[in-house]
Chain A
Amino acid sequence: MKTQSRLEKVLASGALAVTSEVGPPRGAIPEKVKEKASLIKDHVDAINVTDNQTAMVRMSSWAAGVIIKQMGLDPILQMVTRDRNRLAMQSDIIGAYSMGINTMMCLSGDHVKFGDHPMANGVFDLDSIQLVQAVRKMRDEGKFQGGADIKSPPKMFIGAAANPFADPFELRVMRLAKKIKAGADFIQTQCIFNLDKFEKYMEMVCDRGLDEQVHLLAGITPMKSAGMARYMKNKVPGMDVPDDVIKRMEGVSKEEQPEEGIKIAIESIERLKKVKGVHGFHIMAIEWEEKVPQIVEKAGLFPRPVV
């Protein structure tokens, strides 16, 4: 075991891991964090706490993470390289670790253009791979980026993201390899709707033997409506929603669409369970956290193992 991370333990046990996420509120409302986290507390192994998601200002992820930690749950600290330079990021990491947070995700983050501060300067002092590398260096070598030793290095279980669907497709596996090489212990993927393509991707992942080197959690998002499906297809960069999925959503009445979306999510999990290299699921129920337990249960992932 590299860390004390519960997620690491679940994964090491060979069980399929389940994670989900909580978006911190846009205000000093700790209750909101607690409320969201308690909705899913029994059904997941760890909870991602997003970092100024969609480039909108929110409560800082490590603060929200601490609240969740204080609830006795296991937060995954997300950190984007957009908002902080390497000094700030390293200081936040040791700060979070000091508060008991031992699992994190390294991301580059959505571009400021999309958020509520388009006039802000994106920092991007490091990119996501360099951040993975930096966290690993802190943990394994006990060194800061500047080369100085860390007294009591943070032992973080390091996650990174992968989008199997963005262009160029052939680069996707190589990029995953790069993240693993940089030190990623687990990977959470972008929401998967095009299962065929994802399976092809996983084949390539396995061909390179990467499934042996990393734990990959497949991203699952239940869709509330056909409108949302279309939106994801057309407006969200790097998202691949096949037409038959949209057709399927459109094929049922408006009232039945949420149910259909959940059905699709469950079917996806069922199918992906069989895919080699998939070690768990990351369920992103955007503003729909209350449905996570239902999905987890119906997909046969409940109860969660105790480690």
Chain B
Amino acid sequence: MTLQTKLSKGDLVVLVEMNTPKGVDISDLVTNARHLKSRIDAVVIPDMDNGVMHMSALAGGAIMRQQGMEPMIHIYGRDRNRMALQGDMLAAHVLGIHNLLVVQGENIAHGDHQNAKPVDDLNELDLLVMVHSLLKGTDLAGFELKGKPEFFTGYQVQPIQDDDHLEEEIKTTKAKVDAGAQYIMVPPVFDIDYYIQILNKFKSLNVPVIATVFMLKNVGMARYISINDPGSKLPESLITRIRKAKDRETECIRIAGEMIKELKSQVAGIKISASGWEDRLPAILDCAGL
């Protein structure tokens, strides 16, 4: 069953995020994927996430396909112009990658190639328009394509900073849905009750809402997020809980698992991001009872 049909049937979908390597050694990527094969519905492959140069998501998606798994790749306008993007989309279809997630590319200044020149030929809305056009068999210049690609396209909501921003973000997201986004992915919030409130608001857009569970790894990381990303509402009690744990890593896995448990009845799908600790994903799934 593809992701799309499963979502349309109302079944819970479980996605995990896996980064392509910075380099050509794909052994970890493949091994981690294999360990999850029967347990998840799709693998989300970010494309040079956070502005850090990695192997392209297109290749990552193709590798997942080779492993018999369903890929979903990020697309955004920072690094490629409309030519490159359309070309890559056609390639994606041919390589068996049919799930797209339109994201906003991280500011170049935050990445590892700070001197690079951002392209920004198309914005997120343009991208959705572009995908829509390709689906219809026409490229952005109006020329007809030989063979139409098929895509299931979603939109990645920006991290919510506060209630005002939430309202604004719902508006922009609605525009994306109107432009053809078929599902939306909501970034992580650590206060579950608050997260559920947010998710419920997005549900009003009438497309499947996928929540994100982001794995904390230690106190330092939790502290960093609580200070630097107040919108993610990381409660002090969570930091205390990790500090008090005898085995902090296991506790972090448990926390992620519990979040998934709480969220799974509330949303159409859950994406788990272990951010480099993909080898711990099976343990998180165990804890989540998935």
Q: Would A and B touch once assembled, by the CB under 8 A criterion? A: no
B: residues with CB less than 8 A from A are none
